[in-house]
A and B are shown apart, each in its own frame.
Chain A
């Protein structure tokens, strides 16, 4: 009997090992295959996106340029491009690649998924704007058309991503939008509206955000020269280096569009001073805007700061008979017109 024991032990150990490797769907081999497929799909989708981006700005890309964007060896990129050619997603034109019609359609799908994800992460998940791009880059892959449509509908069919890039609709069309032109091209004294903030390179984008600029702000160009650029929104001044300012895209606004003199952010309203809500800030979107509206912060509502915290923040406001506390940052997003007599 004793000599049987090692046989039983080893055969069951081998069987267990084989199961661990080859078990359908849960085995290591199947897991690895799944991972590789997902990875390949990701790279294919990224390639489509890069080619699409190149074509938007009017140039095609070579295998070497794509390899650099994908951060992988050229040889592997060439393999990928060959596969994509046989799938008729791209075509080779003298060493440079461009999207075919069906390739463009797939690329639009990925771009749409990416920008919708950015919108979702910024508005609903309340993620800081500088992290939105990289997270959306991870989330955009492997989504079906139906899933992207569902995301679009859940977000209320937004027109732009948080950087001001247009989001294509379900049939792959961009809705008309204002592209603007880089800020350094504008002369001093012009009134401009920020329509787009370029999120690449991340370092420049972080500087733009740190300066406090947002899509939708209306500003006057105060100073524009080779060393610096100064903007004002009527209250604060924003200073940018020209290289950074080149990533800010603006379009012209007429003089009247700049903020009314008598409209101030709720946070700056004096204690117990009655005011009327004029509007919510354009940049306050998604979850935060819905919450404000649900609580009754609608245009035309009378509001006044009733309770002060020992440390100045938050402050509680009386509106529609209820008492609601907001921090300074939230109160800055609600614009009010103080009533001169009570």
Chain B
């Protein structure tokens, strides 16, 4: 007896001959039967008693998405998060700074007393260590407060409602409502924000979200904004309201960022990324009670420590570099000053100065170290200045280095709009697999930053405000 042998080709031929007999909607039928089978199983296994939870969800949904209350609630929540961060980060920041700089003093004295050469003491304690101390003091408290609060909002299921509320804006800009989710992620870290654009279905709108994510200030830039808002904008108000003014100023900066995100999305979707908005589905999950212990763990360990560690890794070499630049003297002028002076005309054109430009160049790997770098260049030459409070920062910047309100405002704008940090640029490259889009992401942000600060500086000077 012979068994007819069947080759793989026979089967493929058979499939090919049967294929025309399939009805057009057979895929729909398959999914339909899967769903009815799933419904049958769940109907047998799950018993629902009443639906009080559902009614409650509906009430909240009506509140947070209604025309009158939706947007105000969103803005209030955002302002609230900033206010809590500013108020509660202030004191721990000063305490950490005092403690860490006290250690610097003691250690430097110890080194001097045992006869270590001045350059060794300077390099290790006034360079590497001071860079680290600055980053920890400036970044740790705001992060440790901001991340958990934000994770709670995330866990509650509130963020998709924000996307739902704002979609009409994004639609007009030719973008996707879920861009609001990747922007929210960008508050934590722009690299994470870029990765989170994967939730956007259509490639065109995803690319828009990637290219504009940097207009959301990340946690590395928040301390800069908070410091400037506190030291400059809020300082002239009475202490009782100053924290609200500072939070309002940070919120204003964030809203300017949102404005530029939408503007750039609009420009992109009408030029290089032409096309109609396509494919939009957004799931609004039921509200869930946040798991607080897990939130504390993930936001403190996964996020805060992770981001801080990244900042420390770049802060130590940056501190060393600055110390070297500040202590190599050519004709009695330090190299750092030399470079800053060289960059100064360009900086002044943008309403900033050479030191700020230098700080931004050194801070390309990680934006967290902008303020520390600036402070170290301003104070690093000669005898060190001990800076523990916002009052001293104000004195150093205004009296010592000629800062004005314009410098502060333009620095906030520049910090908001300038190019993504090294990690984010690398992430954009990995996500788009394209040098073209990576370069464009830097060009459009840096271009916007230069243009906007140049315009505000010119207007302020023309009107004689500075």
Q: Does B27 contact A (CB under 8 A)?
A: yes
Give complex CA distance A235, B317 in Å.
69
B28 touches A280 (CB 8 A): yes
Query: B164 and A156: CB pair below 8 A?
Result: no
Q: Which residues of A contact B204 (CB under 8 A)?
A: 126-127
Q: How many residues of B contact A (CB 8 A)?
A: 41
- Picked from A308, A320, A325, the residue with its CB within 8 Å of the CB of B167 is A325
Residue of B nearest to A157 (CB): B19
* Given A126-B202, A325-B281, residue A314 in contact with residue B32 (CB < 8 A): no
**Chain B nearest Cβ from A235, distance in angstroms:** 21
Contact B280 A127 (CB under 8 A): no
Residues of A close to B167: CB separation below 8 A: 309, 313-314, 325, 327
Q: Are B66 and A293 in contact (CB under 8 A)?
A: no
Contacts of B280 in A (CB 8 A): 314, 325-327, 329-330
**With known contacts A324-B283, A325-B282, A325-B284, A310–B275 Cβ distance under 8 A:** no
Find out whether the CB atom of B282 lies under 8 angstroms from the CB atom of A314.
Answer: yes
Is the CB of B168 closer than 8 A to any CB of chain A? Answer: yes
Q: Tell which of B32, B165, B202 touches A298, judged by Cβ atoms closer than 8 Å.
A: B32
Which of B19, B65, B202, B283 has a CB less than 8 Å from the CB of A310?
Answer: B65
A310 partner residues in chain B, CB cutoff 8 A: 65-67, 70-71, 165, 168
Within 8 A of B (CB), among A310-326: 310-314, 316, 320, 322-326
Chain B residues closer than 8 Å to A293, beta-carbon distance: 27-28, 31
Known: A307-B164, A314-B167. A125 touches B203 (CB 8 A): yes
A242 to B160, CA, bound (A): 48
Q: Is the CB of A326 within 8 A of B281?
A: yes
List A contacts of B281 (CB < 8 A): 291-292, 295, 324-326, 330
Chain A CB within 8 A of B272 CB: no
Q: Which B residues lie at the A interface, using CB under 8 A?
A: 16, 19-20, 24-25, 27-28, 31-32, 35, 39, 58, 61-62, 65-67, 70-71, 164-165, 167-168, 171, 177, 201-204, 275-286
Task: Give the Cβ gap from A122 to chain B, nearest Cβ, in Å.
Answer: 11
Contacting pair B283 A322 (CB below 8 A): yes
Complex CA–CA separation, A145 to B156 (angstroms)? 51
A314 touches B202 (CB 8 A): no
Q: Is there a chain B Cβ closer than 8 Å to A300's Cβ?
A: yes
Chain A residues numbered 31-77 whose CB sits less than 8 Å from any CB in chain B = none
**Interface residues of A, Cβ cutoff 8 Å to B:** 125-128, 131, 156-157, 169-171, 175-176, 279-280, 282, 287-289, 291-296, 298-301, 306-314, 316, 320, 322-327, 329-330
CA distance A128 to B177 in the complex (A): 19
In the bound complex, do residue B164 and residue A316 qualify as a contact, i.e. CB atoms below 8 Å apart? yes
Known: A306-B58, A324-B282. A176 touches B20 (CB 8 A): yes
| Distance of A324 Cα from B167 Cα, bound (Å) | 14
Known: A309-B167, A310-B65. 19 other contacts (CB 8 A): A126-B278, A280-B28, A287-B201, A293-B28, A298-B28, A299-B28, A301-B35, A307-B62, A309-B65, A310-B67, A313-B171, A314-B177, A320-B39, A323-B61, A323-B285, A324-B281, A325-B282, A327-B167, A329-B277
* A299-B28, A309-B65 known; A325-B171 Cβ under 8 A: no
CA distance A294 to B201 in the complex (A): 13
How far does the alpha carbon of A110 sit from the alpha carbon of B280 in the complex, in Å?
Answer: 33
A171 with B275: CB separation less than 8 A: no
On whether the beta carbons of B31 and A171 are closer than 8 Å, the reply is: no
Query: Distance in Å from the Cβ of B464 to the closest Cβ of chain A?
Result: 42
Q: A291-B281, A310-B65, A323-B283 are contacts. A170–B16 as well, Cβ < 8 Å?
A: yes
Bound CA span A295–B283, Å:
9
Q: Is the CB of A316 within 8 A of B28?
A: no
Q: How far, in Å, is A94 (CB) from chain B's closest CB?
A: 39
CB of B279 within 8 A of CB of A298, answer: no
Residues of A within 8 A of B286 (CB): 323
Select which of A295, A300, A309, A326 is within 8 A of B32 by beta carbon. A300
How many Å lie between the Cα of A58 and that of B191 in the bound state? Answer: 58
Which A-chain residue is minimally distant from B283 (CB atoms)?
A324
- Tell whether, in the assembled complex, residue A169 and residue B16 are in contact, meaning their CB atoms are under 8 Å apart: yes
Q: What are 5 A-B contacts defined by CB distance under 8 Å?
A: A126-B203, A170-B16, A313-B171, A316-B65, A327-B167
Across the interface, do A307 and B283 meet the contact criterion of CB distance under 8 Å? no
- CB contacts (< 8 Å) of A171 on chain B: these are 16
Chain B residues with CB under 8 A of A306:
58, 61
Q: Is the CB of B279 within 8 A of A330?
A: yes
Contacts of A329 in B (CB 8 A): 277-278, 280
Q: What's the minimum C-beta distance from A313 to chain B, rounded to whole angstroms? A: 6
Q: Which of A291, A320, A324 contacts B279 (CB 8 A)?
A: A291
Whole-angstrom distance from the CB of B205 to the nearest CB of chain A? 9
How distant is the Cα of A305 from the Cα of B71 in the complex, in angstroms?
21
A309 touching B165, Cβ below 8 Å = yes
CB distance from B172 to the nearest CB of A (A): 10
Which chain B positions have C-beta within 8 A of A324? Answer: 281-284
Contact A298 B201 (CB under 8 A): no
Cross-chain contact A298 with B35 (CB below 8 angstroms): yes
Q: How far is the CB of B179 from chain A (nearest CB, A)?
A: 14
Interface centre among B16, B277, B285, B286 (most CB of A within 10 A): B16
Contact between chains at A307 and B65 (CB < 8 Å): yes
Q: Is the CB of B20 within 8 A of A175?
A: yes
- When distances are taken between beta carbons in the complex, the residues of chain A under 8 Å from B20 are 175-176
When A125-B203, A325-B281, A325-B282 are in contact, do A296 and B65 touch as well, CB less than 8 Å?
A: no
Residue of A nearest to B35 (CB): A298
Quote the shortest CB–CB distance from A331 to chain B (angstroms).
10
A325 to B279, CA, bound (A): 12
**A296 vs B285: C-alpha distance when bound (angstroms):** 15
| Nearest CB of A to B200, in Å | 11
Contact A325 B32 (CB under 8 A): no
